[in-house]
Structure 1
Amino acid sequence: MPIFGSRDWYGNLCCNFKYVQGISDFDDNGIFGVRITQEDAEQRLSIALRIGKGKTPKYLFYDQIVSIEIRKKHKTRNRDFFINYHPADNPEDIKVLSFEIVDASLHWRKFVEALKNKIPQPPEPEQLDPQPEPKASQYL
């Protein structure tokens, strides 16, 4: 992957973020960088530590994601990036992953926009086709 590219060796979109909270296996090391990759062939996100390669990546399937949100931090250039999702072990619950968009988060707008397009949208309620009014001669 090029140093400043937005794709990995396999052509998947990826971006670097600063991890904040939401993954219990990552919480014991404090705050650090992660790389989030959109693995489209598997229909999932891969979240991997950038430093301390001993930990295995964590995966989140696109269909588990409920919504994503970006919030600008007050009086800074940085933004917060939130992913709301249904955990695999409790699909009725909603949990949150929290990251910070920092200077190392090159191409983050492209990454977020592509991810928004991959999140399954809830089905629209079916609308009934309006039935034409019967003609007067059709009444009995």
Structure 2
Amino acid sequence: MPYWLMKSEPDEFSIHDLQRLRTARWDGVRNYQARNFMRAMAEGDLFLFYHSSCPEPGVAGIGRIENGPFPDPTALDPKSPYHSSKATADNNPWVARDVSFIETFPHVIPLTRLRELDALADFSLTQKGSRLSVMPVTDAQWHAILACR
């Protein structure tokens, strides 16, 4: 089973929000490579929920992909911060996914800790300048991160 990492700013949408809602739409991705990863996901795939752009960025829990990709409605909404002026109802390049809650970790596994792990030396998340909001996670990387919780 492929694994993924998906980033969200906890002030906007956190693992605790997903826990409360149980299922939610993951939208607003506006990077083509991250979008392609979202298209590659399969129903049932698991992902690490990563809190980004906050005082202590890190892995906060686990979620599951619930369905196939569908057009991201925020791209068409002029009031949305994720509005895309080039997207139309007939040609919307952006996708969203429904995700569900699996687990909240007792403590966020901080990025500083992840960078210390030899098993994550080649993981794009731990590389300087990595800004992708969605990325694949290998089986070895998944297990190395889960061992930290």
TM-score tier after normalising by the smaller chain length: under 0.3
Q: Which has the larger radius of gyration?
A: 1
Pick the structure with more helix per residue. 2
Q: TM-score, normalised by structure 2?
A: 0.27
Q: Which has the higher contact order (CA 8 A, sep 6+)?
A: 2
Q: TM-score, normalised by structure 1?
A: 0.28
